[in-house]
Amino acid sequence: GKAGAAQQGDSAVQDSAARHLFHDVNEERLKSIKTFATFISLLDNYETSTGIEEVVTPEEIVENNCFLDAILATEVMKLAHEYLLKKKLAKPNLADFKNQLYDIWFQLYARKEGDRPDSCGFEHVFVGETRRGKEILGLHNWVQFYLQEKHNQIDYKGYVARKNKTRPDKDDQVLSIQFSWKGSVKPRGSTFIGVSPEFEFALYTVIFLLAKERVTRETVKIEEYELQMVVCRHGHHIGTAYPVLLSISNE
């Protein structure tokens, strides 16, 4: 089939993309970067079905901490921390800030009232979850998408085209894509492409901590992209977070 774009409003899910979304990712280079390496080690720590209790092993707690230590050493997270301090939303001590991040992202909770603790913000946003084998929840991260695609777990079905584009290229940094994963289809999910884990972590954390409502939609402009950042809370934790592509100005 021709690799076309999944048209908006096209309810029939046909695989209009003959190829993978990612052709060439330098995985060795990713794994040589501390934040990416520690991030990748977290992706296999979860039982993706909702309703099945998560068991967090001591090794996984160590991995979570290694990841947070790695991102807290980056300029991006330092900026986020300084900003949150000014807003009196974070503790000055780095260890306290790290505990706050741990609670927001890694503390387990039940997606449905009364269920077993089967989810956390990190799992939902970065790893993805499935509900009753019919629905894909979350999975808004390009590294996870790439790795799942490489292991033939994900079938990329096309993307909702932005103006003047017939297919994504290496310059695209936000895409709205359609894909199937573990037997279910996600009709549309937007995701940043090529960004660092600390960039997403910082962005979503700042919006989460500034937010008062359960669902916050923050319109931001990042380079030529007009985006709406959607962040939903689940009590004191992140429920979900992702970018929505609003429009694209032509260069």
Closest by Cα among 215, 241, 196, 208 to 100: 208
Half-sphere exposure of 87 (CA within 13 A, CB side): 14
The C-alpha atoms of residue 43 and residue 79 are separated, in whole angstroms, by: 26
Provide the token pair at 136.
Answer: 């894909």
The C-alpha atoms of residue 179 and residue 48 are separated, in whole angstroms, by: 16
Q: Which residue has the tokens 């923050």?
A: 218
Catalytic status, residue 151: no
The C-alpha atoms of residue 169 and residue 149 are separated, in whole angstroms, by: 17
Considering 98, 124, 157, 237, which one is annotated as catalytic? 124
Catalytic status, residue 186: yes
Considering 81, 98, 140, 157, which one is annotated as catalytic? 140
Closest by Cα among 103, 105, 123 to 50: 123
User: Which letter, b or e, does each residue of 103-135 get, where b requires 16 or more Cβ atoms within 10 Å of its Cβ?
Assistant: ebbbbbbebeeeeeebbbbbbbbbbbbbeeeee
Considering 98, 157, 186, 237, which one is annotated as catalytic? 186
Catalytic status, residue 2: no
For the annotated catalytic residues, the residue numbers are 124, 140, 186
